[in-house]
Each structure stands twice: as structure tokens, then as C-alpha cells.
Amino acid sequence: MGLATRVAGIDLAGPAMLASGILGISMDVFRRLLDSGAGAVVSKSLSAEPREGYPNPTMAEAAGGWLNAVGLSNPGAPNFANMMRGAPGVPVVVSLVGSDPDEFVSMARLFEGLEVPAFELNLSCPHVEKVGLEVGDDPELVSRIVRSLKGAGVRVIAKVGLGSSDYLGTVRAAEDAGADAVTAINTVRAMSIDVHSGRPVLSNGFGGLSGPPIRPIAVRCVREITSRHEIPVIGCGGVSCWEDAAEFLLAGASAVQVGTAAGGNPGIFAEINSGISSYMERRGYSEISEVRRAA
């Protein structure tokens, strides 16, 4: 019986990956999470140039989860590639954010020769203009971006979210263009207002909601995608314990990503691995894929 699994050609040591945007600016932290049982780690979404992001407050608790508008702060793809070059032996799925095919391809080229099992395209950040959801809402643009990257010979995971167009159209565009997998979903565009001051709690006003409140929405999306499409799906949204991870597998996901719940608890990956392992043993499964097929 094994927790190791393979999704779209990417070898995962376990079914629970670190989601993009969480804890992602130190190679030492990535190494610690991989040593703690994460199946793989995904970087913060990298842009062509460094981004400082929005001023604080960028995160606030809301409805049992977290609301954030960090504003895609990241060191930029060239700096991140140099960080990886300086820390060999730490494979990282690299998340990219941009607005046109050439931008994505030139960023991907920076990582040639480095341990990048796949690139995850952020087509779903809900709080920055011109990128993220604004790209994901345009299936024709998604198609061109995925085709260009596949033409460059790299593995591509399209991370989709709930924008203003039907997200299933984005999934179809990515699949038809040759994407290797889909991650569903990103945070859900949301807002909180402080009643005492009358002000939004985030400096940006709108943000994205993560954590337990979005899990049922994400499970629904995973089931919708896997019931209509062949492309492998990585479930993401509010996974906080092994039961949540199992729920996504039962919905049809091939693996899961953990974001908010990894906050302050790097041990969550070992907890999920141990819980899934016992679950599989009780049910007589020898592979992760059997959990999925049991649904």
C-alpha cells in the first residue's frame, strides 16, 4: 500500500500538496514542508517582474476562513529561478501569473535545467487586474497560453476559479489545448466590511476567501469537472484534515492541495498522510486511485 501517486506525469510522494501562495518565499521552508510529508510544493505565483503586493491589511479572518488580498507579492520569476538554482534537491511546482502567451513562455524558460515537475498557471487570482481570473475568464486566451507552453515542452497545470464566465469553459479550453491537469479551485472573490468604521477590512477592498467555508464549493467543482472531463484534477479549497482530503478524492480528484490549513501547522501533511493511509487500510485499498474510483 502506498501514498505515492502520479498525477499527469508528476510524481507525488503523497496525495497532499502545498497550495500556491502559502509559505512560498524560502527554499528552506519548502524543504521543511517536503520533509514533513507534503507530496509536492507549489510556489507563490511568480510574475515577470517582482511585485510588492498591497499594503496591510492583506489578510483577515472571515466566516471561519481567511479573506486575503495579498496582491500577488512575489520576488519575480528571475529571482525565484536563482533561489532554486542555489538550493538544488528541492523540487518546486512553479506557479506563474501573467497576461499573454509570450510572457508565460519566457518565464518558463528561466527554469530550464531546474527541478520543476510542472508549471501551474494562475488563471484564477480574484483580486489583481489584468491577470488571474481576468485571464481565466477568457477561454480563447487560456487556450493560446496553454498551447504556447506545451509547445515549449513543459508540463502544465491550469488552476481555475470562479470568475464571471463559466469556469467549465476554462477547463475545456485548457484540456483541449493540451494541459496535463487542472487545479480547482482558487479562493472565491469575497469582501468583509467592518461595521464600526464602515471600511472594508482589506486595503484592497475585495479579496479571496479561503479555508473551510469554500470547501463544499470546491468539492462541487471537482465533481462537476471529473464527471464531464478526462483531465486529471487536483482538488483545492479548505482541506483541513484527512477526511477533507478523502472527500476530494471521492469527488474525483487525483490529489489535493492544502493552503490555509498549512498556516502555522506544517504537520498537517503528515496528519493527512497518516489518516488517508489508515482509511485505505480499513477499506483494503493499495493505491490512492482506488479511493477515487470508489465514489
Question: Site residues (CB under 8 A) for other proteins?
Answer: 22-26, 28-29, 31-32, 44, 50-53, 55-61, 66, 68, 70, 73-76, 79, 83, 194, 196-197, 199, 201, 203, 259-260, 262-265
Check residue 42 and report its DSSP letter. B
The single residue of 125, 221, 236, 241 carrying the catalytic annotation is 125
Which residue carries 502545498 as its cell? 18
Extract the C-alpha cell encoding 34: 517536503
**What are the b/e assignments for 237-255, b being 16+ CB within 10 Å?**
bbbbebebbbbbbbbbbbb
Closest by CA position to 162, among listed 184, 193, 191: 184
Cβ proximity to other proteins: between 199 and 228 the closer is: 199
Cβ proximity to other proteins: between 14 and 21 the closer is: 21
What are phi and psi for residue 167, nearest 5 degrees?
-60, -25
| SS3 at position 99 | coil
Residue 61 CB burial class (10 angstroms; 0-12, 13-18, ≥19): exposed
Cβ proximity to other proteins: between 73 and 106 the closer is: 73
Cβ proximity to other proteins: between 29 and 241 the closer is: 29
Clarify whether 125 is annotated catalytic.
yes
> Which residues carry out catalysis?
125
